[in-house]
Amino acid sequence: MKRTEIIETTKKINKEVLLKGWVHNVRSHGKIIFCDLRDRSGICQVVFSIKEAKKLKPEWVIEVKGKVKQRPKGMQNENMETGKIEIEGKELKVLNESKTPPFELTEDTRKINEEKRMEYRYLDLRTERMKQNIMMRHEVIKFMRKSMYEKGFIEIETPLLTKSTPEGARDFVVPSRLQPGKFYALPQSPQQYKQLLMVAGMEKYFQVVRCLRDEDQRGDRQAEFTQLDVEMSFASQEDIMELTENLFIEIVERLFPKKKIQQRPFPRLEYKEAMEKYKTDRPDLRKDKDELAFCWVINFPMFDKSEGKGKWIAMHHPFTRPQVQSAEELTKSNMEKTLAFQYDVVLNGNEVAGGSIRTHEREILEKVFTLLGHSKKEISEKFGHLFEAFKYGVPPHGGIAWGLDRFLMILAGEESIREVIAFPKTGDGRDLMMNAPSEVSEEQLKELKLKING
């Protein structure tokens, strides 16, 4: 007999079914045992009158053969999708027993110590709230992919082993065994690869991609996170903003119809206006706490003074196009006043997407790096591959990247992105379930020509 998913039992009244899943809870009423059986699709009640059922305990994995029956009137549970039926259990097979879980899995685990939940994440994910969060994530990403395909975008994977370049946060580095003393870097984003794909003539690219940054952690940030990454050739800032705004609206309307978008089209704020009025470039514009208050922040400064160092950095990244017509307009004296073709989407006080039109003129890009303090030798060593590519007919292009974890966190009504990631890290970057990071053997270090100091 083929297995039936629990949610499908409502269509099989008076038919024999084979169910497999976990014991959600079990109740003994004398000779009758009531067992709530759970699989990914839902929960249903199984009624046993066989003695083997008396030994059942929560989280045991079992197989049940039985008949689907309509529950008597007055015994139906309107709060369950399967609440109008029950299974008359005739045969029972225990596939695997379970220890008593370290915390209750039939309840919301928000109040449980988070480190304990992360240590036993595979159990935490069995709870209804966490299961729904992961399923919601799946549905949103599936919808995004379908929408991008329909709009003519090509999904292209970019490498995870790449080159360390000074363009933003601290890199995670990976030693090369075959080239001792040299290192790969894990990508902070596919920024240079997606620009090179525009040089390659792909024109409309997207990717649901993992990005990695060796940064201090907080509630809305992880060392590894997921982006919807988008790049377009021959596109204006308006084109990219329109595409992005429409996709946000489509997702909310189709998948979260009960949620209300406060204003559409999304209001637009100049960066200067946002900072003067709200003291932040991520303003929370909600008038009602249950609304989704999207807005655009545009016309960011091209350059910014890094905290505590007095050194100029790129506000977004150095590939962002400054609002100038030629390299001659970029000077040290006007760095503070130079604006960029940069645009962010803010939702309820969180940046959920950010992008820019890119610089496609080699002279302007080189001038930006020079103003940021890079010598010609450094530019050649770190970015020579990009400047070489730009000699071969690069189209004007731009793009945007969505912080999917933050967006999903808000849609789920959660306080931390860890609640919408299957296997997140702690605040200090540890994986308590896998006990990572961990030490490696002396043999591995020797093979990589590495030594540990201190």
- Containing domain of residue 35, as a range? 6-96
Span 214-260, pLDDT tens digits? 987 665 689 999 999 999 999 999 999 999 999 999 999 999 999 99
CATH number at 75 reads 2.40.50.140
Task: State the Cα–Cα distance between residues 340 and 322, nearest whole angstrom.
Answer: 4
Last residue of a domain, one of 63, 96, 129: 96
pLDDT band with cut points at 50, 70 and 90 for residue 136: very high
- In which residue are the tokens 């196009």 written? 321
Look at residue 67 in the predicted model and tell me its pLDDT: 97
Task: State the Cα–Cα distance between residues 206 and 352, nearest whole angstrom.
Answer: 17
Look at residue 425 in the predicted model and tell me its pLDDT: 92
Question: What's the predicted TM-score (pTM) here?
Answer: 0.94
270 and 161 part of one domain = yes
40 and 138 part of one domain = no
Which residues in 130-157 are b (16+ Cβ under 10 Å) and which e?
Answer: beebbebbeebeeebeebbeeeebeebe
Number of structural domains the chain divides into: 2
For residue 240, what are the CA distances in angstroms to 188, 326, 346, 356, 400? 22, 23, 15, 9, 7
Q: Is the pLDDT of residue 308 over 60?
A: no
275 and 176 part of one domain = yes
Q: Is the pLDDT of residue 306 over 70?
A: no
Q: Identify whether 267 is preceded by a cis peptide bond (ω within 30 of 0).
A: no
- The answer to whether 120 touches 433, Cβ cutoff 8 Å, is yes
Task: State the Cα–Cα distance between residues 23 and 6, nearest whole angstrom.
Answer: 13
385 and 292 part of one domain = yes
Structure tokens at 366: 């080189």
Span 58-115, pLDDT tens digits? 999 999 999 999 998 888 999 899 999 999 999 999 999 999 999 999 999 999 999 9
CATH number at 306 reads 3.30.930.10
